[in-house]
Structure 1
Amino acid sequence: MAQQKPRYRRSLGDLSERALAFWLLLPAALLLGLVALYPVARLFYNSLFRRRLTDETGFNPVFIGLGNFTQALSDERFWTALWNTFLIVLVTVPGALVVGLLLALLANLPFRVRWPVRLGLLLPWALPLVFAGLIFRWFFDSQYGVVNDVLVRLGGERLLWVTTPELLFWAICITIIWKTSSFVALILLAGLQVIPKELYEAAAVDGASRWQSFWRITLPLLTPALLVAAIFRTITAFQTFDIPFAMQNGGSSFETLAMYVRTTSIENLNFGYGSALAVLMFLISLGVTLLYLRYIRGADD
């Protein structure tokens, strides 16, 4: 009998570095495709059809290509909702970054007992968005709200925060900044923790003030964390729904793009047009994210 060659079972240690990385990342890639890529692809697919449950196209969708997107470009309500969303982004993203930076610097001070300060950062972030909107709706109530009570005690007049569109916008922005600045502060606090203390000690020896140390050491080294926080904050700002919806008790006097998507899809049962609006919101968020990433790559180069 011919002698059989021994068979070796190939283990992970025998794989090349690239092959090992492929097999280790494959489960995560499959899971990402299942929970993220497939829903996005399905959303794109639905946006190409006229499908409304209030007529015959509900169960027999009609292919119209880019018809829903063409309708959106001529839809005045879409442009109003998009403009309202841009206003929220322009106000709340810088506001959350500034407030979050101040909170992170406060939490990074050499307190003997730091956990109450850092716990205070976690509470707004852990609070559900709808709950935060309902709380601040009561704060800005025209009759019984805390804000108007303070204004009256200071000699001012009661303001109709919730029923006046201009005041409602600022009330929503204040609520969003309060809710999201804690998340920004947690990211920036992590960035502050990795800055070597030796740099501050050397700056103090050279006679630099705290303000100079902040501008020459803290802010430049904290820039990557600021950019990461800005990316997350901008994406979530474009998707703002819960807080404006809760503060208006389901109304739409100040409507964001996400609220319009919900109204079109859930209330009007127009899934085709609602999918197209959601695709546009996704593309805008993706475009802004790519701009951030391009800026980061340019800064690294």
Structure 2
Amino acid sequence: MARSQPHYRRSLGDLSERALAFWLLLPAALLLGFIALYPVLRLLYTSLFALQLTVSPDSSFLGFANYGQALHDARFWNAVKNTLLIVIVTVPGALVVGLLLAMLANLPFRVKWPVRLGLLLPWALPLVFVGLIFRWFFDSQYGVVNDVLVRLGGERLLWVTNPALAFWAICFTLIWKTSSFVALILLAGLQTIPKELYEAAKVDGASRWQEFWRITLPLLTPAILVAMIFRTIAAFQTFDVPYAMTGGGPGNATETLAMYVRATSIENLNFGYGSALAVLMFLISMAVTLVYLRYVRGADE
């Protein structure tokens, strides 16, 4: 009687955990690579060519000449400066306001949904819509802000046409818009802190400030770092709010790097140089993110 051949087929249950994870994640990884990786590689490829449709529909290989042009471009460095200032002002500002909002929403209200709905509304509003609303708020003639200042005995200020005031108006708008997003992340972190720790601290006679400094802040640090990573990356890509409020003006006083990329690529149809600017913006964002991640890894160790 002939011996039966061994059966080599393996079911998913026979795979190791690592192999099973590999095969389950492979479709998502391929899809993510097609959606995210291909555009990035295409952007890198285009940045190496001279491709300006207002001059010629043909492209010629330049190597890294577009990047060299950016390093000597005064408008590029002005946009970098404005972007960095927005990051420096709005990320800590959104963190402080978001932390206060999260702690307020975490209080033992009997009816919590109005407070949490108040956190969701600013985050849910479209950025361009927020920019248009606050442009009207800061309007020199009919704006709410100047109306309040006049009623308090002050003078009308040219919020949108004065470079310094326009910058601070944009930062205030961004903090108002983004602090709710930070608050939602921090609220989730606050709810993971065991209440027993606060009860033990009260038994030991700790004050509210000591509870915050010794319990809340250390245990909330991972959530804070996650919120800062997301906010920093988004702040480097700031476009909608300053575009809606000032259009980058007066002059280029409030033009961000994302706005300069748009102006170069869409208005001037210089896709080669615009792609190089976008790659530089991507590299700056990634560098800051790696700093955050290195800090997180060091804190875990």
The yes-or-no answer on 1:257 pairing with 2:265 is no
- C-alpha deviation, 1:250, in angstroms: 6.8
Could you tell me the TM-score, scaled by structure 1's length?
0.97
In the alignment, the residues of structure 2 paired with residue 228 and residue 3 of structure 1 have an alpha-carbon distance, to the nearest angstrom, of 61
Q: Distance in 2 between matches of 1:91 and 1:166?
A: 13
The yes-or-no answer on 1:13 pairing with 2:13 is yes
1:248 to 235, 240, 246: 246
Question: What's the counterpart of residue 152 of structure 2?
Answer: 154
Q: Is contact 2:98-2:180 (8 Å) kept?
A: yes
In 2: Cα distance, 1:6 partner to 1:80 partner: 71
2:61 aligns with 63
1:102 and 1:185 map into 2 onto residues whose CA distance is 8
The residue correspondences of 1:68-107 to structure 2 (distance < 5 A) are 68-107=66-105
The CA deviation string for residues 141-182 of structure 1, in whole angstroms up to 9 with x for no partner, is 011110000000000000010111110000000000000000
* Residue of structure 1 in register with 2:31 after alignment: 31
Measured after TM superposition, the shift of residue 38 of structure 1 is 0.8
AA matched with 2:232: T
Q: Cα deviation per residue 1:246-268 (whole Å; 9 max; x = unaligned)?
A: 00257544100000000000000
Q: Secondary structure at the match of 2:215?
A: helix
Q: Which amino acid aligns with 1:5?
A: Q
The residue number in structure 2 matching 1:109 is 107
Deviation of the 1:3 alpha carbon: 4.1
* Deviation (angstroms), 1:9: 3.7
* Inter-partner Cα distance in structure 2 for 1:135 and 1:87: 23
- Structure 1: runs of 5 or more not aligned: none
Calculate percent identity across the aligned residue pairs. 81
Equivalent residue number for residue 126 of structure 2: 128
Aligned residue type for 2:111: V
> Could you tell me how far 1:211 is from its partner in structure 2?
1.0
For structure 2, the residue ranges without an aligned partner over 5 or more in a row are: none
Matched, 1:294 2:287: no
Query: Cα distance, 1:7 vs. partner?
Result: 3.4
1:192 is matched by which residue type in structure 2? Answer: L
Structure 2 CA distance for aligned equivalents of residues 258 and 186 of structure 1: 26
What do the CA deviations read for 1:119-150 (whole angstroms, capped 9, x no partner)?
Answer: 10000000000000000000000111100000
CA–CA separation in structure 1 for the residues paired with 2:281 and 2:181: 23
Displacement of 1:6: 5.7
Paired amino acid for 1:147 = V
Give, in angstroms, the shift of residue 300 of structure 1: 1.1
| Equivalent residue number for residue 270 of structure 1 | 270
Partners of 2:86 and 2:171 within 8 A in 1: yes
Q: What is the RMSD computed on CA atoms of the aligned residues?
A: 1.1
Residue among 230, 233, 241 paired with 1:235:
233
- Cα distance in 1 for partners of 2:282, 2:247 equals 26
- Residue by residue over 1:214-255, the C-alpha shift from the partner in whole angstroms, topping out at 9 and shown as x without a partner, is 111001110110000000000000000000000025754410
TM-score normalised according to structure 2 size: 0.97
CA contact (8 A) 2:248 2:259 kept: no
- Could you tell me how far 1:202 is from its partner in structure 2? 0.5
SS for the counterpart of 1:208 is coil
1:220 pairs, out of 218, 226, 231, with 218
Per the TM alignment, residue 5 of structure 1 is displaced from its structure 2 partner at its CA by: 2.6
Deviation per CA, 1:69-107, whole angstroms, max 9, x where unpaired? 000000000000000000000000000000000000000
Secondary structure in structure 2 of the residue aligned to 1:2: coil
Quick one: which amino acid aligns to residue 207 of structure 1? G
Q: Deviations over 1:264-289 (max 9, x none)?
A: 00000000000000000000000000
**Letter in structure 2 aligned against 1:107:** A
Letter in 2 for 1:214: F
How far is the alpha carbon of 1:24 from its aligned partner?
0.6
Give the whole-Å Cα distance in 2 for the aligned partners of 1:18 and 1:207.
49
Aligned partner of 2:132: which letter? L
Partner of 1:200: 198
